[in-house]
Amino acid sequence: MSRRIVLGSRGSKLALTQAELVAAKIREANPELEISVRRIGTEGDRNHTMPLENMAGIGVFIKELEDALFDGRIDLAVHSLKDMPAQLPSGLRLAAVMERLDPRDVLISRGQKLSELVPGARVGTGSLRRAVQLNIFRPGLEICSIRGNVDTRLRKVADGEFDGALLAAAGIKRLGQEDRINEYLSPEYFLPAVGQGALAVEIRSDDKETTEIITLLNHLTTWRNITAERSFLIALGGGCRAPIAALATTNGTTLKLEGMVADAVKKKMVRSAEEGNSAKPEDLGEKLAQKLLAMGAAEFIAEAR
Q: What are phi and psi of 226, to 5 degrees?
A: -75, -25
Could you give the 3-state DSSP secondary structure of residue 174?
helix
Instruction: Give the Cα-Cα-Cα angle 187, 192, 197 (nearest 5 degrees).
Output: 110
Q: Residue 72 to residues 5, 37, 84, 271: CA-CA distances in angstroms?
A: 11, 14, 20, 42
Could you give the 3-state DSSP secondary structure of residue 39?
strand
Residue 243 carries which side chain, given as an amino acid letter?
P
What's the CA gap between 168 and 197, in Å, rounded? Answer: 7
What's the CA gap between 111 and 116, in Å, rounded? Answer: 9
The beta strands (E) that lie in the chain are given as 4-9, 34-39, 76-80, 92-97, 105-109, 122-125, 142-145, 164-168, 183-185, 199-204, 244-251, 254-263, 268-277
The neighbouring-strand residues paired with 302 are none
What's the CA gap between 296 and 300, in Å, rounded? Answer: 7
83 flagged as catalytic = yes
- Please name which of 133, 139, 253 lies closest in space to residue 193, comparing C-alpha atoms: 133
From 45, 67, 71, 83, active-site residue: 83
**260: buried, middle or exposed (CB in 10 Å: 19+, 13-18, 0-12)?**
buried
Catalytic residue positions, numbered:
83
